[in-house]
Structure 1
Amino acid sequence: MSEWRIEFSPFAIRHSSFTMLYVFHGPDDFSRAEKIATLRAGLGDPATAEMNMALLDGRTLRLGDLRQHTDAMPFLAPRRLVIVSGYLASLSGRAEGGEGDSAKTIANPSSPDKSEQLQALLDYLGRMPPTTDLVLVETKSLDRSHKILKAAKELGGEVTLFAISENLPGWIIRRATEHKAVIEPGAADLLARRVGADLHTLNNELEKLALYTAGQRPITKADIDLLVPYTEEADQFGLSNAIGQRNARRAYDQLRKELDEGSNPMAILGSIAAQIRALIEVKDMAERGMSPAEIAQAKGWKSDYAATARLKEAANFSMARLEQTLEMLLEIDVAIKTGRMDSLLALDTLIARLCSR
């Protein structure tokens, strides 16, 4: 007579005697997704994992509904994994995507009703079955005083802040090693500027670049120029960024590219004016003592890297010169519209003045 056995993963056996609470918060959905994938893999084969995992929308969730999933016994496995998105934001009264979603962090509830609901959740966490792992996911950062953070610590849970790195080139260099590749610092900076803070796209591009170089040599700027297309956003700000860096050659090349593609000279002039205003704004914020992270939050940017890049560009100009440039742009705008100046000549002259040392 054959013996019937169930094989459990080492991860599951290691954690089978106690409940594990995970609190994942912050805007870096790429790193968070990788962490959740690791937890899911710990459930064993995909078929078993599917039967023992629940994905819940916390925006409309009640504690009773949550308990139906967390109190359930695992099926042919030692553990269940329950992942809830947006529950803490909902309990704070600021459900993501709804009214009141402008808050920068998720705080403790202010209303008595929501406070009671949060307390009920906290009271329940210590009584959850030891066969359940609960993951609370929030795309915004939790306020440091949030009660769930203290509860997680007391329960021996894991709290992870998934913040998008303010040093994107550094993230790219580290991530390249995951693909068994090496990327030159200048190439990492170019890739960061071309793609932006979209870590999913950055990872995909790194995978492509790693396959292309096949570990035979470092990834270079030339590889990125060959394989990584300009995004619409990179095209839109390419000229403005070149001016911000006072790179005349790149600025002229980008100007010709935009004109060849049919861009209106007045629209180009408007984008330059917007760049100068942005530099004035971030420079003023920095002079008032704001950090890159605070500037990024105030501007609604996804990462500190955008603020750091703008501050680096703003450092190339004095505040007086930026303000004088903005006045000059207004004068050029009037001169073009009244026929006193040719628009193409005006753009050439403007770039020469802005990029001069």
Structure 2
Amino acid sequence: MIIFLYGSDRYRLYQNRDLVVQKFKDKHGAISIQTVDGPASDAPAQFKAALSNNSFFNDIQLVIVRDIFSNPASSEKIGELLDQYDTLNDRQRIVVAIHPGPKSSARSSEVLKLLLNKKNLVREFEPLSETQFEKWLKSEARQREVSFAPGAAKHLMLLTGGDSWRAVNELEKLSNYSKGAVTAAAIDELVLTETEPEIFAFIDALGSRNKPKALELLYRELSLRQDPYYLLSMIIYQFRTLLMVRDAMERTGNASAIASETGLKPFVVNKMKTAAARYTLQDLRRVYQTLCDLELGAKQGTKDLQDSLYEFALSV
């Protein structure tokens, strides 16, 4: 069985992935869950080992493939293994393929066609419309046992620019502060509207390998109570984009061609090309793998995320 989760709304995408994993744990336990890192050069070997790992008790397995299209060579081989092991019809193995981007950015049409097969469970997570986003925010608030005063949900949506990840991080703070209803006044007091440029300045400093500047900005962001998980999500997004651009640059230096291939806006490509040129493709894959390991360690509780962010800034 294959579950294919994709789309550019990364918070809702990963939220749904975590829901799938939790439901599996509740029913089958955690011992039969394995994760394959799509960007890694040995991702096909990891995937084959996971599919070949037959339990003595014939337990159901869950195999998660992260960023399945991030490494074109690996994704092609993983697609071949999906066919070889007949995962479309296999009820003992559940493969969850993750692609944090639109279909247009998928690098293998054959693998994409396989993942979009009608036999699979496919879910797309594209940015929500204003009405949908406001409704979703209210649902997230109810899960935190708070509500929004009239007009407050829309106010938060506008201040966070419709970024689901940032909106939820701000809602976490607001739900701890507010008793009963989140008001527009509370949002104005607690939501830091000026921190966004600082986050991107930090990410740009990382991409430019300016360690002193990156450390200074990271310290400033964390001092302003910026959520380390939000910072990590933005760093991952930046390096995923750099990786996409650098990979395309191996074939063409034309910004329009790169934009067409990656699905990125031309102005984003132009901004990223200079930073991407400072890295080899192998370097970017290594950095991205490090970020994936950092994210996993933080979620499993084996790494202190704030300390790990400082270590990462020093290592890039």
Q: Which has the larger radius of gyration?
A: 1
The runs of 5 or more residues in structure 1 that have no matched partner are 1-19, 96-108, 237-295, 302-357
- Paired residue for 1:200? 165
Aligned pair in 2 of structure 1 residues 119, 170: CA closer, same or farther (>3 Å)?
closer
1:58 aligned to 2:18?
no
1:156 aligned to 2:116?
no
Q: CA deviation at 1:83?
A: 1.0
Q: CA deviation at 1:134?
A: 0.7
Partner AA of 1:71 in structure 2 = S
Q: Summarize deviations over 1:211-244 as a string: whole Å, max 9, x none.
A: 44333xx4221121233333423799xxxxxxxx
- Paired residue for 1:123? 83
Q: Summarize deviations over 1:190-219 as a string: whole Å, max 9, x none.
A: 32233334423321322333344333xx42
- Paired residue for 1:142? 103
Q: What is the CA–CA distance in structure 1 between the aligned matches of 2:189 and 2:67, rounded to whole Å?
A: 40
Q: CA deviation at 1:61?
A: 3.7
Q: What is the CA–CA distance in structure 1 between the aligned matches of 2:87 and 2:97, rounded to whole Å?
A: 16
Q: What is the CA–CA distance in structure 1 between the aligned matches of 2:188 and 2:265, rounded to whole Å?
A: 31
The runs of 5 or more residues in structure 2 that have no matched partner are 200-263, 270-316
Identity among equivalent pairs (%):
23
1:31 aligned to 2:6?
no
Alignment match of 2:188 (pick from 225, 228, 235): 225
Q: What is the CA–CA distance in structure 2 between the aligned matches of 1:182 and 1:77, rounded to whole Å?
A: 46
Contact 2:148 2:182 in 1 (8 A): yes
Q: Summarize deviations over 1:49-89 as a string: whole Å, max 9, x none.
A: 1x221121112245344121022124768322111122334
For 1:334-349, list aligned pairs within 5 A: none
For 1:8-157, list aligned pairs within 5 A: 20-44=1-25, 48-49=29-30, 51-59=31-39, 60-61=41-42, 63-74=44-55, 78-91=59-72, 117=77, 120-124=80-84, 126-127=86-87, 129-143=90-104, 146-152=109-115, 154=117, 156-157=119-120
Contact 1:26 1:139 in 2 (8 A): yes
SS where residue 95 of structure 2 aligns? strand
Q: Summarize deviations over 1:270-309 as a string: whole Å, max 9, x none.
A: xxxxxxxxxxxxxxxxxxxxxxxxxx945559xxxxxxxx
Partner AA of 1:205 in structure 2 = E
For 1:184-333, list aligned pairs within 5 A: 184=149, 186-215=151-180, 218-233=181-196, 297=265, 300=268
Aligned pair in 2 of structure 1 residues 212, 135: CA closer, same or farther (>3 Å)?
same
Partner AA of 2:18 in structure 1 = A
Partner AA of 1:123 in structure 2 = D
Contact 1:173 1:185 in 2 (8 A): no
Partner AA of 1:219 in structure 2 = V
SS where residue 42 of structure 1 aligns? helix
Q: Summarize deviations over 1:116-168 as a string: whole Å, max 9, x none.
A: x4762452252575321111111121239944454345462111112222424
- Paired residue for 2:146? 181
Q: What is the CA–CA distance in structure 2 between the aligned matches of 1:210 and 1:165, rounded to whole Å?
A: 22
Partner AA of 2:101 in structure 1 = K
Q: Summarize deviations over 1:83-122 as a string: whole Å, max 9, x none.
A: 112233423x6x9xxxxxxxxxxxxx9xxxx5xx476245
Partner AA of 1:124 in structure 2 = Q
Q: What is the CA–CA distance in structure 2 between the aligned matches of 1:40 and 1:119, rounded to whole Å?
A: 22
Q: What is the CA–CA distance in structure 2 between the aligned matches of 1:39 and 1:133, rounded to whole Å?
A: 10
Aligned pair in 2 of structure 1 residues 165, 232: CA closer, same or farther (>3 Å)?
same
Contact 1:25 1:160 in 2 (8 A): yes
SS where residue 59 of structure 2 aligns? coil
Q: What is the CA–CA distance in structure 2 between the aligned matches of 1:210 and 1:55, rounded to whole Å?
A: 33
SS where residue 27 of structure 1 aligns? coil
